[in-house]
Each structure stands twice: as structure tokens, then as C-alpha cells.
């Protein structure tokens, strides 16, 4: 149990508690007793001043409890300057006020950071206030929800996120990040005008593992735009655009390597599996595995792999600047999973630019068989 106490920020300096027993540090010079005492402090912040007080005090608290914090309009819950080994716990309901701005509504950075939701905690983005059916490309300016950026050797667990205005979680420049048991519930946006509510957007990262995620949204469940050693397993995706690589191309980092999606379910979504390389750009998509994926209620493409993405799927002529190589699909269960008006499998590659694909036990049926496939490498088939 963490002893939780409410500490107004101005009282922190005057705070006096018994020095806890801490193990002697191994390498660095021993911190002063005052330092140890400060860092052992658990701080609780609440209400409409909670976000700004937590920001100001972030370096003084080894545990930050955000209990029923009401973040004011136009303010970022900003914990981007945490000391190593800080724990951030959400309790009760966290809310954000309405304003048209780009956000983010929340930003957390650091090394050896533990971010978690207490039982019953909800992070409510209040998205319906912004939803207008136009997402990120028109209408109201909508704040992104959570920048989980620059996290090293860190964990995010047990967050229940509801109703994000647009994109939910942006993971960028992460190095060894484990995300477990996170729910993104934007179901209300299905009929309420939610759009571009991506679940997880991942870029510039090495070693990201996402397990047991539940994503109900209206865009990619997961989109890996760049990065290495990314795994998504045991997830459920509903209502969105499926498990995506890309779009790749046109950014500063255009390499996606060693990405695994496994033992997950995609339902009531426009696509199941999608790999998008942008037409005319350069980059690398290599070492991609989809294994143990169940598809149902797919309305666009069961599997879509394209080298002619151009702001939209299947635009123009495929180009070879972003080769798609080493693609393994195994145990893809989509028997009857694609709706009759939709397409089972579509592959559009430039000549020779897709290679070394291994497909085993890929069954995706119910929809149409594409007649437009091109550049399909041996090992794969558009009539799976």
C-alpha cells in the first residue's frame, strides 16, 4: 500500500516526515537525507488545480497520485520532467475541459516510469464536445489525447481511456516500453461523429510491447509508422481500421522493422490487416509478422497490402521505393469474416518490390476476390 497524502505544493519544502529506510545506492554518491526524504514522498493531487500542481511538484514526488483531477480547458496535464523511477497513478475520474486547440491533453516522459490506473479509474477525454465527423482534417480543431513520448524502460498499465477528441495514444521515441491492459473506448463515436481516433500511433521507437489492449474507435487500432521491435498481442480491435503498418513514407524516419501482431481479434472494422507504403517515397518495411489473428465483420479489405498509398488507399501506380519484405502471415482466421460487398485480399506491389513472404493457414473469405492484385510475390495469394 502506498501511503497517500495530499500536499499543497507550497508546503512541500516545509514537509517533514520520518526518513524511510532506503537501500544504499550502488554507484553514485549517496543522496543527502533531504533528497531521500523528498523522493520518498507520495503526493496526491485533485480537482481543478491538480494538473498544474502536479506539474510544478513533479520532481519532488516519487509517486504522483492524480485523484479525480479536472484539467482546465486548453491545459496539458504535463508530467514531462519526471525524475527517474517515478510512479504516476490515476484514481477516480480524470476530465478535461473543452477548447479548440491541438493539445495534447496529457504528456508524460521519463525513464523507469510506471504509469497506471487504479481500479475503476477512468480518463475521460469528453470527445463528444469536439466530434463533428471531420476528425483531424476539418471542422473543429481537436486536441490529441496522450503523448507517451521519450519513455525509456517504462510501463503503462491498466488505463481506461474514454472518448478521445481525435488520436488517443502517441508513442514516440520510446525505448523499452511495455503497455498492458489499456482500454480505449471511443464506442460513443461510432454514431456520434468520432473520426481519426487512432488507438496507438507508434513512431521512432525501439522495443514497444502492447498486450491485452481493447480498442473501440474509428481509425487504425494500431499504426506503426516507424520503429523496430514492436509487438502487439492479445488485443481486441473494434470499429476502426485494423492492425496497420504505416502509412510509411514522407517522414524523417521511414523504417519499420521487426513488428509482430499476434493472437488478436479485429472485428466490425473496415480492414483487418493493412500495410501501407506511400507512393513515390523511400523507406523500408521489413520483418512483419501477423500470427493468430481473427477477423470478423470486415467492411473494406480483410488484408490490404499496398505500395500506392497516397493519403488514401490504392491511389495511382505502385512504386518500389519502400520495399515490403519478410512478411509472415500465419493462422489468419477470417472464414466468412469479410462482408459480401468487401474484398478478401488486395495486394498491389510494384514489380519485384514485395518479396520473401511466407503465408500459412491464411483463410479470409466472405467477400469478393480481387481482380486488381499486382506484383504479388510467391508465397502469398489474393485468393486466400
314 contacts 346 by C-beta, under 8 angstroms: yes
Q: Which stretch binds ligand NAG (CB under 6 A): 72-80, 90-98, 347-355, 370-378?
A: 72-80
What are the start-end ranges of the H helices in 97-174? none
β partners of residue 161: 123, 184
CB of 154 to ligand NAG, least distance (A): 17
CB of 123 to ligand NAG, least distance (A): 17
Q: How far is CA 324 from the centre of its chain?
A: 23
Q: Is the peptide bond before 275 cis (omega within 30 degrees of 0)?
A: no
Residue 14 CB-half CA count within 13 A: 5
182 contacts 150 by C-beta, under 8 angstroms: no
Cα separation, 136 vs 143, whole angstroms = 9
- Report the chain's C-alpha Rg in angstroms: 23
Subset of residues 256 to 295 that bind ligand NAG, contact rule: CB under 6 A: 291-292
221 contacts 215 by C-beta, under 8 angstroms: yes
344 contacts 299 by C-beta, under 8 angstroms: no
User: 331 vs 381, which CB is nearer to ligand NAG?
Assistant: 331
CB of 69 to ligand NAG, least distance (A): 16
Phi then psi dihedrals of residue 60, to 5 deg = -95, -5
Subset of residues 31 to 50 that bind ligand NAG, contact rule: CB under 6 A: none
Cα separation, 173 vs 108, whole angstroms = 12
Among 114, 157, 330, 356, binds ligand NAG (CB under 6 A): 330
Mark 25-43 as b/e (b = at least 16 C-beta within 10 Å).
eeeeeeeeeeebbbbbbbb
DSSP state of 381: -
Cα separation, 259 vs 108, whole angstroms = 24
Subset of residues 74 to 103 that bind ligand NAG, contact rule: CB under 6 A: 76, 78, 80-81
CB of 291 to ligand NAG, least distance (A): 4
User: 93 vs 331, which CB is nearer to ligand NAG?
Assistant: 331
Annotation says 241 is catalytic: yes
Size of the site for ligand NAG (CB under 6 A): 10
Burial of residue 323, with CB atoms counted within 10 A of its CB: 0-12 exposed, 13-18 middle, 19 or more buried:
buried
Among 41, 94, 107, 319, binds ligand NAG (CB under 6 A): 107
User: 74 vs 192, which CB is nearer to ligand NAG?
Assistant: 74
CB of 78 to ligand NAG, least distance (A): 4
User: 169 vs 349, which CB is nearer to ligand NAG?
Assistant: 169
Q: Which stretch binds ligand NAG (CB under 6 A): 24-32, 73-81, 115-123, 346-354?
A: 73-81
CB of 259 to ligand NAG, least distance (A): 15
User: 59 vs 315, which CB is nearer to ligand NAG?
Assistant: 59
Q: Does residue 331 belong to the site contacting ligand NAG (CB under 6 A)?
A: yes
Helices and strands per DSSP (H, E), number in the chain: 3, 30
Lookup: cell for 370: 480481387
Q: Which of 149, 241, 267, 276 is catalytic?
A: 241
User: 76 vs 163, which CB is nearer to ligand NAG?
Assistant: 76
User: 111 vs 369, which CB is nearer to ligand NAG?
Assistant: 111
CB of 250 to ligand NAG, least distance (A): 24
Binding site for ligand NAG (CB under 6 A): 76, 78, 80-81, 104, 107, 291-292, 330-331
Q: Which of the residues are catalytic?
A: 241
Amino acid at each position: 500500500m502506498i501511503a497517500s497524502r495530499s500536499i499543497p505544493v507550497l508546503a512541500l519544502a516545509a514537509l517533514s516526515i520520518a526518513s524511510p529506510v532506503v537501500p544504499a545506492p550502488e554507484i553514485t554518491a549517496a543522496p543527502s537525507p533531504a533528497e531521500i526524504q523528498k523522493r520518498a514522498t507520495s503526493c496526491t493531487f485533485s480537482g481543478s488545480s491538480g494538473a498544474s500542481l502536479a506539474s510544478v511538484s513533479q520532481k519532488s514526488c516519487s509517486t504522483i497520485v492524480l485523484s479525480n483531477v479536472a484539467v482546465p480547458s486548453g491545459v496539458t496535464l504535463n508530467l514531462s520532467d519526471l525524475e527517474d523511477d517515478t510512479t504516476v497513478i490515476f484514481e477516480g475520474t480524470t476530465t478535461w475541459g473543452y477548447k479548440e486547440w491541438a493539445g495534447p491533453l496529457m504528456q508524460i516522459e521519463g525513464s523507469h516510469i510506471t504509469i497506471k490506473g487504479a481500479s475503476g479509474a477512468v480518463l475521460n477525454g469528453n470527445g463528444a464536445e469536439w466530434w463533428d465527423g471531420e476528425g483531424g482534417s476539418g471542422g473543429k480543431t481537436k486536441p490529441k489525447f496522450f503523448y507517451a513520448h521519450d519513455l525509456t524502460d517504462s510501463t503503462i498499465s491498466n488505463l481506461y481511456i474514454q472518448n478521445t477528441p481525435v488520436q488517443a495514444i502517441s508513442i514516440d521515441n520510446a525505448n523499452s516500453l511495455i503497455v498492458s491492459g489499456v482500454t480505449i473506448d471511443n464506442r460513443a463515436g461510432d454514431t456520434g461523429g468520432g473520426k481519426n481516433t487512432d488507438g496507438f500511433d507508434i513512431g521512432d521507437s525501439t522495443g514497444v510491447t502492447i498486450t491485452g489492449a481493447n480498442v473501440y474507435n474509428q481509425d487504425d487500432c494500431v499504426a506503426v509508422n516507424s520503429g523496430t521491435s514492436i509487438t502487439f498481442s492479445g488485443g481486441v480491435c473494434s470499429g476502426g481500421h485494423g492492425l496497420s503498418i504505416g502509412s510509411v513514407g514522407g517522414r524523417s524516419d521511414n523504417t519499420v522493422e521487426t513488428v509482430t501482431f499476434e493472437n488478436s481479434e479485429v472485428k466490425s472494422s473496415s480492414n483487418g490487416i493493412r500495410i501501407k507504403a506511400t507512393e513515390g517515397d523511400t523507406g523500408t518495411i521489413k520483418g512483419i509478422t501477423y500470427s493468430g489473428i481473427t477477423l470478423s465483420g470486415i467492411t473494406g479489405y480483410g488484408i490490404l497490402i499496398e505500395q500506392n498509398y497516397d493519403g488514401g488507399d490504392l491511389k495511382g501506380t505502385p512504386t518500389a521505393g519502400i520495399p515490403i519484405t519478410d512478411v509472415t502471415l500465419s493462422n489468419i482466421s477470417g472464414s466468412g469474416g469479410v462482408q459480401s460487398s468487401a474484398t478478401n485480399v488486395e495486394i498491389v506491389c510494384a514489380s519485384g518490390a514485395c518479396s520473401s513472404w511466407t503465408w500459412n493457414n491464411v483463410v479470409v473469405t466472405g467477400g469478393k476476390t480481387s481482380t486488381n492484385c499486382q506484383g504479388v510475390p510467391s508465397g502469398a495469394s489474393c485468393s486466400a
